[in-house]
Amino acid sequence: MKKNTIYKVLISTAIAFQVGCSPAENTSFPTSETVSSDKRPNVLLIVADDLGFSDLGAFGGEIETPNLDALAMSGIRLTSFYALPNCSPTRSMLLTGKDNHSVGLGVMAEALGSFPMLQGKPGYEGYLHPETTTISEKFSEAGFRTLMTGKWHLGHKPEHQPSNHGFDKSFVLLQGGADHFGYGQNGGPALEAATYTEDGQLAEYPVGVYSSDFYAERMIDYISAEAEDGAPFFAYLAFTAPHWPLQAPKDLIEKYEGRYDAGPEALRDSRLERMKELGLLEDELLSANLTSLNAWDEMSSEERQIASRNMEIYAAMVDSLDQNVGKVLDHLRVTDQFDNTIIVFMSDNGAEGIDPGHLIARSSNSTPPEHKEQVLATISAGNVDLEKMGSKDSFITYGDQWARAATAPFRQFKGDTEEGGIRTPAFITGPGIRGQRIVDSPLSVRDIMPTALELTGVVEPQEQPSKENIDGEILTPSERSWVPILTGEAETVRSKNDAMAWELFLKRGVRLGDWKAVYSKAADAAPNDRRAPSSWRLYNLKTDPSESTDVREQHPEEFKRLMTAWEMYAKENGVFVPGPRKP
């Protein structure tokens, strides 16, 4: 049987499995007037760390993700969902519904040393402002049990802990990353020491247990505890996979052995074809001008073997994440909570394209000079020893070639304001949602908070922009409830005049309708060349989703409108822009 045929059978099976027992069939929409305290739906928010746009089967991937695929196919796949280029700023927007600059994450804490001009500026503290109202606080006030496991990355001090932001129970990693088997609690040659807390107190991670296994199991424990009181729950399951270092259980790595021997370009081509079959992209857009992935042809056979193993490990990490989502879903089914649970899934940014050399440099920033040779030796050893790769002693990434394959047909990857850095896979399913659909209208991570609160009846329906505003003046970036889309009443909650904007590490982007302007270095500039000039470019995403053709000169009026929107956004949110604001 051909691979494409097998793939279609798997997807059809996923649909059949979900239809009939799926919450997608329950089209009655709960409102604050009709939802009683004992029947309010639960909310399960699942976040993957650095997952590529097409990694899941439901989004075109070949990695085995049957649990997530079934959820996605039964619900609404969101193909124009936007996060930020990096993790903690995205998480700040996710939990507050506000722009990252307005809640303290205008910059990542670990990057402040690289951007001295940002130090001391309001909104650039690197932690979530204690006074900010979070989604967990709103749910807690409404009588929900609020639970979290996984990556926090929003502050280290006691007052910054999840327990001080509305979570009743939490077991979290405070840093942005750690080894996945818990050996880094005392530090390591390639990573800073990992710090874990439970309910705000220092905690020990069980050494040797894989991260995705542990976070899912602890979440099941939290959901089970005190469940007899009948209170609904808000659960935030924030996996650290597939964030580097690439590590996974050995049996899962072996499962993918040989699957990626044809290289990144072949992987990208096959995924684009599957996107076409799934209706995720229009046929004519699949032949867009994509970045060349010819490095494979220049590699030796040994280098190809190492690169293939990198991708095999990455696939195993995604596979494990899916299996652990399945464990949580099974628990919900056994306890008769599945049909009454709204499930939202997303990745916090695009695929990680950092190269090993840059990783060594970045990981060594806080390492004493006398230890830097040890850092290099440790990471290099993991890069060349096939048996060691993916183990606790390996600190590797999979590089920009695989990342570009995962973000195609979009340009760039994590860290960039081009589509590949900020457009991520996402879906929503559950009671009150008309599922088995694909929605391509632009949506933001900021929207999740008002959407979840309205779906559960915690807040009243959000007032939509008036007809005059929709047809007239530019609206500054704001959160929007998706309820009109989820109930099938509308296809979009944003118009061509409703702005979305992003800024991080001085890189910028703004979107109005199908038009998007990006301020960054040229695509051919070296990733670490800080002297390379940046400039504004204009793209029409409807005809050019890969942002391959700058049309600024051909459409000056559209560019002017986008710059007006950008100025409004920057002023409203206190965005620091060095030098003149005007382009």
Tens-digit pLDDT profile for residues 394-407? 888 999 999 999 99
- Residue in 186, 204, 110, 197 with CA at minimum distance from that of residue 162: 197
Is residue 14's pLDDT more than 90?
Answer: no
For residues 91 and 449, give the distance between their C-alpha atoms in angstroms, rounded to a whole number. 12
Q: What is the mean pLDDT of residues 109-119?
A: 91
Within 199-339, where are the H helices? 211-224, 250-255, 264-278, 301-334
pLDDT value, residue 27: 35
pLDDT value, residue 90: 98
Q: Is 199 left (phi over 0), alpha (psi -120 to 50) or beta?
A: left
Identify the active-site residue in 87, 160, 165, 243: 87
Is residue 187's pLDDT more than 60?
Answer: yes
Q: Is 200 left (phi over 0), alpha (psi -120 to 50) or beta?
A: left
Active-site annotation holds for 153:
yes
Q: Spell out the residues 6+ positions from residue 297 whose beta carbon is closer than 8 angstroms to its own.
A: none
Q: In this predicted model, what pLDDT tens digit does every residue of 251-297 receive, in sequence order?
A: 999 999 999 999 999 999 999 999 999 999 876 665 557 777 877 88
* 393 CB neighbour count, 10 Å cutoff: 19
pLDDT value, residue 465: 63
Which region among 3-7, 113-117, 123-127 has the lowest average model confidence (pLDDT)? 3-7
**Length of the chain, please?**
583
- Residue in 317, 390, 371 with CA at minimum distance from that of residue 347: 317
> Percentage helix, strand, coil, to 5, in the chain?
40, 15, 45
Active-site annotation holds for 331:
no
Q: What angle do CA 448, 349, 515 make, to 5 degrees?
A: 80
Instruction: Reply yes or no: is the peptide bond before residue 245 cis, omega within 30 of 0.
Output: yes
Q: In this predicted model, what pLDDT tens digit does every residue of 48-69 receive, in sequence order?
A: 999 999 999 999 999 999 999 9
pLDDT value, residue 226: 78
Which structural domains are found in the chain, ordered by start? 3-180+208-294+315-355+399-448 (3.40.720.10), 460-573 (3.30.1120.10)
Give this prediction's pTM: 0.90
Is residue 478's pLDDT more than 80?
Answer: yes
The burial of 374, by beta-carbon neighbours within 10 Å (0-12 exposed, 13-18 middle, 19 or more buried), is given as middle
Please tell me which residue, 486 or 24, carries the higher pLDDT value: 486
Range among 17-21, 29-33, 119-123, 343-347 rated most confident: 343-347
Cβ atoms of 568 and 476 closer than 8 Å: yes
Q: What are phi and psi of 370, to 5 degrees?
A: -70, -15
- Residue in 528, 536, 522 with CA at minimum distance from that of residue 582: 536
For residues 305 and 405, give the distance between their C-alpha atoms in angstroms, rounded to a whole number. 18
Q: What is the mean pLDDT of residues 347-359?
A: 82
Q: Which residues of 5-33 are buried (b: 16+ CB within 10 A; e: fewer)?
A: eebeeebeebbebbeeebbbbbeebbeee
Q: Return the DSSP state at 502.
A: E
The burial of 484, by beta-carbon neighbours within 10 Å (0-12 exposed, 13-18 middle, 19 or more buried), is given as middle
For residues 400 and 407, give the distance between their C-alpha atoms in angstroms, rounded to a whole number. 10
Half-sphere exposure of 2 (CA within 13 A, CB side): 4
Identify the active-site residue in 153, 180, 243, 331: 153
When the pLDDT of each residue in the chain is averaged and rounded to a whole number, the result is 86
**Helix, coil or strand: residue 327:** helix
Token output for 428: 């929503």
Please tell me which residue, 6 or 450, carries the higher pLDDT value: 450
Q: What is the mean pLDDT of residues 228-244?
A: 94
Q: How far is CA 550 from CA 286, 461, 502, 506, in A?
A: 18, 40, 19, 20
For residues 47 and 285, give the distance between their C-alpha atoms in angstroms, rounded to a whole number. 28
Is residue 174's pLDDT more than 90?
Answer: yes
Q: In this predicted model, what pLDDT tens digit does every residue of 312-329 receive, in sequence order?
A: 999 999 999 999 999 999
For residues 488 and 492, give the distance between their C-alpha atoms in angstroms, rounded to a whole number. 10
Q: Spell out the residues 6+ positions from residue 47 whose beta carbon is closer than 8 angstroms to its own.
A: 91, 94, 150, 151, 236, 237, 238, 239, 345, 346, 347, 348
pLDDT value, residue 472: 67
Sign of the alpha-carbon dihedral angle for 45, 51, 53, 59: negative
Token output for 95: 């939990």
Is residue 1's pLDDT more than 80?
Answer: no
For residues 387 and 267, give the distance between their C-alpha atoms in angstroms, rounded to a whole number. 24
pLDDT value, residue 291: 79
Is residue 212's pLDDT more than 80?
Answer: yes
